Structure 1
């Protein structure tokens, strides 16, 4: 008789991965990161559970984009007040807060709602080579 095994979060172990974003394309990098965060490459993947791994991204300030995206892509935020829309280009945001460019690209690829917010907490992005996660012994991924 066949039995269906139900996977729970307690049955799984989570791995830490280190990704160097230097000279990587933003969209392709964000796709790979979101798949790792969701756990889509695992054989036990379930779309309603957070079974993905942790991802550390270093050198976020040195990512690339194709075409004229650096001056044409616009990031918007709104204060909620009348006339409170603030916009800035990819180039300006990357100079000011380099980690936010990768974070917003990955966040847009994750599910909307409670599961997406929970998965997003497993992403750690740093603008240069330094990160405080050496104790977790991350595995270097070459994408």
Structure 2
């Protein structure tokens, strides 16, 4: 009797590409889900869930993203300074003024696995507030969002 073996992608065999995503006038959550799929490699036909088979993503115009509803005022970003009583909070509007790239970074981070593989996949995300980026040498291909 013939049994077919399952395909398992080895990390060395993964063909990693570079993509540029323009975040201008994109809704943050919908943008983040598509970026997370690219980083994980779910668009590749050889996707293996326990292997880092995803591609690199460069996001430009992160300062021109949109939220639906009243999230600009209601959504909060929290962090801790590691000092006693050091919890800090910013609204989404304040975060857009100070660190707009962190809005996209945190949204994508929340959609990746919460383990060492997810942290490794997050390092392949490069976010820039303006229209220029530092990764022209990698010849990234423009990715059209759905």
Shorter-chain TM-score category? over 0.9
1:30 aligned residue (25, 29, 32): 32
Q: Give the match for residue 69 of structure 2.
A: 67
Alignment RMSD (CA, Å): 1.1
| TM value normalised by structure 1 | 0.96
2: CA distance between counterparts of 1:80 and 1:5? Answer: 45
Q: How far apart in 1 are the matches of 2:140 and 2:122? A: 18
SS at match of 1:95: helix
Q: Do the aligned partners of 2:33 and 2:108 also contact (CA within 8 Å) in 1?
A: yes
Kindly state the Cα deviation for residue 51 of structure 1 after the two structures are TM-superposed: 0.3
In 2: Cα distance, 1:118 partner to 1:31 partner: 17
Unaligned runs of 5+ in 2: none
Aligned to 1:15: 17
Distance in 2 (alpha carbons) for counterparts of 1:45 and 1:5: 9
How far residue 43 of structure 1 moved from its aligned partner, in angstroms, is: 1.5
Equivalence for 1:89? 91
Q: Deviations over 1:31-77 (max 9, x none)?
A: 00000000012111111111000000000000001110001100001
Structure 1 equivalent of residue 133 of structure 2: 131
Shift >4 Å, 4+ stretches: none
Alignment equivalent of 1:49, drawn from 48, 51, 58: 51
- Structure 1 residue ranges without an equivalent (≥5): none
**Aligned residues of 2:24 and 2:62 also touching (Cα < 8 A):** yes
**Equivalences, count:** 143
